[in-house]
Chain A
Amino acid sequence: MHISCGTQGIVNSKHPGQGIKDIALAGFQNIFLDLSVVCPVWELENVGKSAQKRGNGASWIFEHPEEMRSRGGFLADQSAKGGLKISVSMAPYLNYSTKRDDLNNLLERLTQESVMVSAQAHCRYLIVRPLTAGIGNADLREVNRAYYLRLAERAKKYDIQLLLENQCRNHNGHLIRGFCADGRQAAQWVDTLNEAAGEERFGFCMDVGACNLCGQNIYDFVLSLEGRMKAVILRDCDGSSDSALLPFTSVAQGQSQTDWLNLIRGLREIAFDGELILDFHDTAVAFSPLLKPELIHMAKSVADYFAWQIGMESLLKKYPSRVLFGAGNMCRNYLKCYGEKYPPLFTCDNNGKLWGSVFEGLEVKNPQVLSALPKDCAVFICNIYYREIEEQLRQMGIENPIEFFNDEYMPSFYFDRLENR
């Protein structure tokens, strides 16, 4: 899985050095280049409304779409110098609330240019939103089918895969399900376009924020796109306003307002191994430039956490044998969801009273027995005191791989929890 950091709100398109450096120092190796940083939404919304030139003498990009290449190329070069690869890019787009129904030709031109920028940046994927403004429901399908297939010609030339993305539709200020918001229909779109293109030129990028705005069953959405899902944009929001917040920060009543459980369940089930993009530009903009480096570090940790949770089953699969540490609820949850598929040899616990007992069908042993494990057998800690237990095991001289298991996002849950163990 490739983890990428969104550049919006962090990297200034004219002075990208500092933002790129902050991202690289946080440990990211890839970035997500949303080309609206060089052709902003507000600029598109004002096409034709002002003849005013940019302050530095540069022209509006809508007047010279070919400048996408030089401006995007500049960002790509600077990123490469900073040690960052561009994994996914996104063509310019209009807001969901736009009333500009006269810009479809311009958007297509800008998207064609975006294909070139992506090629220059050695970026494999380009996310392309559909043309919707001013197009009635009856024509939406045909207009976009033709649009995507025209783009496919250039994309093929430069070997770029075009990613469709689930959209919201603005109904008088209320965001509801729009183009590709239905997972089955989205899958059908991808398949139909690929069939027409004669190759796998199209894939899908799931925008978690858009799913959340429409209160969707995220698990079902993910499963219906299995195999076509090349990228996932992780962003948080309150389910009502369209924003891109750092995951786990949109909270009410002590709970996240995005259904991370069903996202992780779904991505884990399809063994997602594509591009994981963290887009938190609203959070980033709100933070002082002085605090941004720490914020980006935090964002990296959040992204790593998602990758770890999504890859949990792959982690279990990685080892030929495994034992658990802990004989409580987390161990019980392991056994419920993975006990059959990845059976542990036994579990152990620091509570001497449990030694020799059987918990949920698994023998509980003294941790001392771990020193006799075969070398490739991993110890999965099933207790929230991960670091303390890991240190204990290392001090005991255990050299086996030690992994953390976690039951926050499980394929299913018991209705109850065991108390006082």
Chain B
Amino acid sequence: MIRTGVQTKNIVNDGHPEEGFSMIKRAGFSCADFSLNGYLLNKEIYQSSLNRFFDASVSELERFFTPHKKGAEAAGVTINQMHMPYPVYVPAGEKQVNDYLRNEVAPKSMAVCAFLKCPYIVVHGFKLARFLGSEEKEWEETEKFINFIAPMAKEMGITLCIENLYDGIGNHLVEGPCCDAVKAAERIDRINEKYRAEVLGFCFDTGHANLVGIDFESFLTTLGGRLKVLHIHDNDGRDDLHQIPFTFAKTRENKTSTDWEGFVRGLRQIGFQGTLSFETAPVLSAFPETMKQDALSFIARIGEYFAGGVSAS
């Protein structure tokens, strides 16, 4: 049975995490994408001004996240996926920052993932093609990182999920790491074979794919069963807006400019049985506080609509 989920950012707070998880459940979701990346923001990483959240020991982190774990359980929400802070490598960044990301943040993220009994963690590939000259060489560096954490993943029963990303040229967003489904499939198979375990899978981000004109159906059918996790959100094809699906139109006919039909067809063709998870946190900060629950319920309803399409014979 296909489930629906949503990211916890802008819903679950550290003071009373149980309230946020209840809200998620009331909206109609049964799963949550735990926004671990919210504890070490990418803007701060790029500016080398890291907070010291991940200085805490694993047991301290487990203590910190115990209310979250209990809150989710009490609400009947499964934490099915989470997001490792990103980037995990800053090109031309300070060595101590990159060492910290690799040696502290990544392993502790894995530990938190295991503690929350979450089966999937999304990791970002390194953005190095400009410097190294090609996506292949860029991937070699990402693969070194994957090889660093894959043994942990295997031991903990977690699947790392690489995600299709974008990069920027001026204000034009273009293909970043992991936008080639054929290459991704080959790499996932090769690495899983090496570890004799499903340590690597794929997270398909609809918004990122839409920004770079990827054909959803073709991409998803190429990935097939390697697709483990989704980041569902919409945009105008120009900016990474993380909005509600079906929001954007570009012509007077006012039809959705994102290929949601292709998305559903693709998932149906590969027999996707995972979680339709929405990465739509900005929606919740855009709507007035009093409408937050309604907005969330609406997103959940869209999830049900998608689920119906994916399950249809």
User: Residues of A at under 8 Å CB distance from B?
Assistant: 168-169, 171-177, 181-182, 184, 212-217, 219-220, 238-240, 251-259, 261-262, 265, 410-416
Is B134's CB within 8 Å of the partner chain A? yes
Q: Is the CB of A174 within 8 A of B172?
A: no
Q: Is the CB of B215 within 8 A of A177?
A: yes
Taking the closest CB of chain B, its distance from the CB of A421, in whole angstroms, is 19
Q: Is the CB of A171 within 8 A of B259?
A: yes
Q: Is the CB of A171 within 8 A of B257?
A: yes
The residue on A at minimum CB distance from B252 is A173
Contact partners of A410 in chain B: CB under 8 A: 133
Residue from the set A213, A215, A240 with the largest chain B CB neighbour count within 10 Å: A215
Residue pairs across A and B with CB atoms within 8 Å: the count is 110
Is B92's CB within 8 Å of the partner chain A? yes
Q: Is the CB of A415 within 8 A of B237?
A: no
Q: Is the CB of A413 within 8 A of B215?
A: no
Taking the closest CB of chain A, its distance from the CB of B212, in whole angstroms, is 3
Taking the closest CB of chain A, its distance from the CB of B254, in whole angstroms, is 9
Provided the pairs A172-B255, A214-B212, A217-B180 are in contact, do residues A252 and B132 lie with their beta carbons within 8 angstroms?
Answer: no
Taking the closest CB of chain B, its distance from the CB of A339, in whole angstroms, is 15
Q: Is the CB of B258 within 8 A of A253?
A: no
**CB-CB nearest 7 A-B residue pairs:** A173-B250, A214-B213, A215-B212, A412-B133, A255-B170, A239-B172, A215-B174
Residue from the set B135, B171, B179 with the largest chain A CB neighbour count within 10 Å: B171
A-B pairs with beta carbons under 8 Å apart, 29 shown = A171-B257, A171-B259, A172-B249, A172-B255, A172-B257, A173-B251, A174-B213, A174-B258, A176-B213, A176-B214, A176-B215, A176-B259, A177-B213, A177-B215, A181-B213, A181-B215, A214-B213, A215-B211, A220-B134, A220-B135, A239-B173, A239-B238, A255-B170, A259-B169, A261-B130, A265-B134, A411-B133, A413-B130, A413-B133
Is B291's CB within 8 Å of the partner chain A? no
Q: Is the CB of B171 within 8 A of A215?
A: no
Contact partners of A415 in chain B: CB under 8 A: 91-92, 131
Q: Is the CB of A257 within 8 A of B172?
A: yes
Bound-complex Cα distance A261 to B170 (A): 13
Contact partners of B135 in chain A: CB under 8 A: 217, 219-220
Bound-complex Cα distance A252 to B131 (A): 21
Is B182's CB within 8 Å of the partner chain A? yes
Q: Which of A172, A184, A238, A412 contacts B253 (CB 8 A)?
A: A172
Q: Mask for B143-175, Cβ within 8 A of A = 1, else 0?
A: 000000000000000000000001001111111
Contact partners of B210 in chain A: CB under 8 A: 174, 176
Contact partners of B311 in chain A: CB under 8 A: none
Is B192's CB within 8 Å of the partner chain A? no
Contact partners of B173 in chain A: CB under 8 A: 215, 239
Provided the pairs A215-B173, A253-B171, A256-B170 are in contact, do residues A220 and B180 lie with their beta carbons within 8 angstroms?
Answer: yes
Contact partners of B212 in chain A: CB under 8 A: 214-216
Q: Which of B169, B175, B256 contacts A172 (CB 8 A)?
A: B256
Q: Which residues 210-250 of B sit at the A interface, judged by CB distance below 8 A?
A: 210-215, 218, 237-238, 249-250
| Given contact pairs A171-B257, A174-B258, A177-B214, a sample of 4 additional A-B residue pairs in the complex whose CB atoms are under 8 Å apart | A172-B257, A173-B249, A174-B250, A219-B134
Bound-complex Cα distance A217 to B167 (A): 10
Bound-complex Cα distance A74 to B158 (A): 69
Q: Which of A172, A253, A265, A413 contacts B170 (CB 8 A)?
A: A253
Q: Is the CB of A257 within 8 A of B213?
A: no
Q: Is the CB of A414 within 8 A of B131?
A: yes
Q: Is the CB of A173 within 8 A of B92?
A: no
The residue on B at minimum CB distance from A255 is B170
Provided the pairs A215-B175, A219-B134, A240-B238 are in contact, do residues A252 and B170 lie with their beta carbons within 8 angstroms?
Answer: yes
The residue on A at minimum CB distance from B134 is A219
Bound-complex Cα distance A254 to B169 (A): 10
Contact partners of B129 in chain A: CB under 8 A: 217, 219, 262
Q: Is the CB of A265 within 8 A of B214?
A: no
Contact partners of A262 in chain B: CB under 8 A: 129
Contact partners of A413 in chain B: CB under 8 A: 130-131, 133
